[in-house]
Amino acid sequence: MTIETVSTNKAHGGVQGVYKHTSAATGTEMTFSVFVPDHAPNEKLPVLWYLSGLTCTHANVTEKGEYRAACAEHGIIFVAPDTSPRGDDVPDDEGYDFGKGAGFYVDATEEPWATHFNMRSYIESELPELVAANFPADMARQGITGHSMGGHGALTISLRNPGRFKSTSAFAPIVSPLNCPWGEKALTGYIGAHKAAWREYDACALIEDGARLPDLLVDQGTSDNFLAEQLKTNLLEQAVDDAEMKAMIRLQEGYDHSYYFISTFMAEHVAWHAERLKA
Amino acid sequence: MTIETVSTNKAHGGVQGVYKHTSAATGTEMTFSVFVPDHAPNEKLPVLWYLSGLTCTHANVTEKGEYRAACAEHGIIFVAPDTSPRGDDVPDDEGYDFGKGAGFYVDATEEPWATHFNMRSYIESELPELVAANFPADMARQGITGHSMGGHGALTISLRNPGRFKSTSAFAPIVSPLNCPWGEKALTGYIGAHKAAWREYDACALIEDGARLPDLLVDQGTSDNFLAEQLKTNLLEQAVDDAEMKAMIRLQEGYDHSYYFISTFMAEHVAWHAERLKA
């Protein structure tokens, strides 16, 4: 469980690092970034996971996410993994929405994907152990968020692991892969056509099937080009209403799907997580 | 004086735009970005110019600069120009520190650079007219800042135009092209070997020759790899001391030359400009 430091830069009083390691889950080298705020010797800090969307690596949010000032203020470690395995041995698809950059946070069962595309195990099991072993992280205080495909990842991972995350939020999440073209393509490819198996990778289905979060914050831009066809925030609104689950789902007027949207609301999300992680 | 909109994104309640136009100064198409915060109809806002460093375009600070939250809070327009002319017709150099991406904010007199490399005229004259004509900008309230080569640009442009800028700051500026390899190469190339002509492009020389600013803020990281050989902040400290010019030059422990450094102190710079622009 050794990690190699790719780079570190002092930022907002803390250290923004990029690291790589050989992953057992994906059978590849994986890169991730971690921001550790300034802290007292031996102090352990809460951890906020950020799962990225289609086409992204760790770098997009690290450069454009504008989370460091808020994480420094609240004393929260920010972890940003990659979105898929990478490398010449890893199969790929011509589309931006399947294969590399599009792991969908599932453990693939279909060939040729099953060997490497195990992002569920990577994010749920392997990377948390690495983070716990290598950073001043208080793993009893974890929150999770993400954008688009990463919002789907945050919601489903949190719903499937009750109690692990004290706080869950998302930016413009895919709320139901069962009900959108991105989900149809990716889940058919990674885990096959039998849709009953998709339900554990579908936030709305998980809630329908009884999973619950203590609370939830979602921001969604009204000018997001993917809202109507892919994201379908209304399905999540319906699911949390039906389940009488506490949730704040906010439609943000005029915002699109980009990091200009994410960075606008990032500080609020970090503060919202901090309230729950430091309660 | 028409500009074409490349993109607009809602961000932090305002609009982050990217625009292009045909420049008379450079004889090329030029791209720049402007953030306009939310404001009342017919309200005109102060303008903060940000000049970028070697290799950069408008995009680096637009994506990584973390200025929008502060500009929205203080009601300040943020303008980020490119660092040189671009295009197949524009001559270039193999190095990253001369030619494209390295205009040094001079008007070149040497061939083959003189035709296109007129970034001084572009930033001092042409672009301000465009900004005044196309954005809700109060040109009586302008501030200027920049990074590295762009810090050099901000300092020299402000020093040469007394009274135009109510506030001037810089991040890790090149303070004396007369006294560093980057300056030697670029100014020899653009304006020739006769060093007397360089003095109007050298912040320290301009101060020695009598130019003054009412106030100045400079941040410089102590772990900046370029500090000793290229940036030489001590020369600026000496020049402002000798001139008894008011200046706050801060050495920031452990920070490097990257946007992790810039974004850490950006909000403070914007607030410092806001105080002076809105006084």
pLDDT in tens, B46-70: 999 999 999 999 999 999 999 999 9
Structure tokens at A165: 């995350």
Instruction: Name chain A contacts of B12, Cβ cutoff 8 Å.
Output: 263-264
Active site residue A148: yes
Nearest to A16 among B66, B260, B267 (CB): B260
The pLDDT of residue B279: 87
What residues of B are in contact with residue A256 (Cβ under 8 Å)? 9-10
- A224 carries an active-site annotation: yes
Interface test with A, best of B7, B60, B264 (most A CBs within 10 A): B264
- Residue of A260, A263, A270 to mutate, interface with B, max B Cβ within 10 Å: A260
Question: Cβ of B265 under 8 Å from any chain A Cβ?
Answer: no
Q: Which of B84, B224, B269, B273 is catalytic?
A: B224
> Looking at residues B125-141, what average pLDDT do you find?
98
Nearest CA to B74 out of B43, B45, B33 is that of B45
Mean pLDDT for the stretch of residues B159-173: 98
pLDDT of residue A112: 98
Q: What is the mean pLDDT of residues B149-173?
A: 98
**Which one of B6, B7, B8, B9 makes the best mutation probe of the A interface by having the most chain A beta carbons within 10 Å?**
B9
Give phi and psi for B9, each to the nearest 5.
-135, 135
Report strand pairing: B165-171 vs B217-221: parallel
Q: In a 3-state reduction of DSSP, which class is residue B64? A: helix
- Read off the tokens for A116: 């490497």
Per-residue pLDDT tens over the stretch B213-255: 999 999 999 999 999 999 999 999 999 999 999 999 999 999 9
Reduce the secondary structure of A123-134 to three states and give it as a string: HHHHHHHHHHHH
Phi first, then psi, for residue A34 (nearest 5°) are -140, 130
Catalytic residue (choose from A148, A158, A169, A176):
A148
pTM of the model: 0.97
**Separation of alpha carbons A92 and A70, rounded Å:** 36
Q: CA neighbours within 13 Å on the CB side: how many for B144?
A: 26
Interface A-B, measured as beta-carbon pairs within 8 A, has a size of 57
ipTM of model: 0.95
Closest-CA residue to B70 (of B50, B40, B43)? B50
SS3 call for A110: coil
Whole-number CA gyration radius for chain B:
17
Mean pLDDT, range B90-117, rounded to an integer: 97
Structure tokens of B209?
């020759």
Contact B66 A63 (CB under 8 A): no
pLDDT of residue B264: 98
Decide if A10 and B263 are in contact by the 8 Å CB cutoff.
no
Q: Is B224 a catalytic residue?
A: yes
Tell me the C-alpha distance between A72 and A267, whole Å. 11
Mean pLDDT on B150-166: 98
| C-alpha–C-alpha distance, residues A63 and A56, integer Å | 12
Kindly report the average pLDDT of chain B as a whole number.
98
Rounded Cα distance between B169 and B137, Å, is 20
Task: Report the residue from A11, A63, A69 with minimal CB separation from B63.
Answer: A63
* Chain B residues close to A223, C-beta within 8 Å: 10
| Residue (of A121, A1, A104, A117) closest to A54 by Cα position | A104
- Residue B216: count of CB within 10 angstroms of its CB: 23
Instruction: Please give the pLDDT value at position A279.
Output: 87
Please identify every stretch of chain A with a pLDDT value under 70, giving residue numbers as ranges: none
State which residue of chain B sits closest to A70, comparing Cα positions.
B264
**DSSP helix/strand/coil, B221:** strand
* Burial of B242 per CB tally in 10 Å (0-12, 13-18, 19+): exposed
Are A171 and A262 contacting, i.e. CB atoms less than 8 angstroms apart? yes
Q: Are strands B4-11 and B29-36 parallel, antiparallel or unpaired?
A: unpaired
Q: Tell me whether residue A44 is exposed, middle or buried, using C-beta atoms within 10 angstroms of its C-beta: 0 to 12, 13 to 18, 19 or more.
A: middle
- Average confidence (pLDDT) over B91-96: 96
Residue-level pLDDT at B37: 98
B164 and A CB contact within 8 Å: no
Dist CA A52 CA A82 (whole Å): 7
A33-86, pLDDT tens digit by residue?
A: 999 999 999 999 999 999 999 999 999 999 999 999 999 999 999 999 999 999
Residue B254: its chain A contacts at CB < 8 A? 10
Q: Give the nearest chain B residue to A63 (CA atoms).
A: B64
Task: Calculate how close chain A gets to B171, using CA atoms only, in Å.
Answer: 14
Pairing of β A77-81 and β A137-146: unpaired
Interface test with A, best of B66, B259, B268, B270 (most A CBs within 10 A): B66
At CB < 8 A and 24+ separation, what contacts does B159-163 make?
A: B159/B203, B159/B206, B159/B207, B159/B211, B159/B212, B159/B213, B160/B124, B160/B200, B160/B206, B160/B211, B161/B124, B162/B211, B162/B212
CA–CA dist B60, B52 (Å, integer): 8
Chain B residues with CB-CB distance to A69 below 8 A: 66, 267
Cβ–Cβ below 8 Å for B63 and A66:
no
Torsion over CA of A250, B33, A57 and A275, rounded to 10 degrees?
-40
In this prediction, residues B122-142 reach a mean pLDDT of 98
Distance CA A134, CA A157 (A): 22
Q: What one-letter code names the amino acid at A249? A: I
Burial of B13 (0-12, 13-18, 19+ CB in 10 A): middle
Q: Tell whether A225 is within 8 A of chain B (Cβ).
A: no
B13 touches chain A (CB under 8 A): yes
Q: Specify whether the CB–CB gap between B245 and B216 falls below 8 A.
A: yes
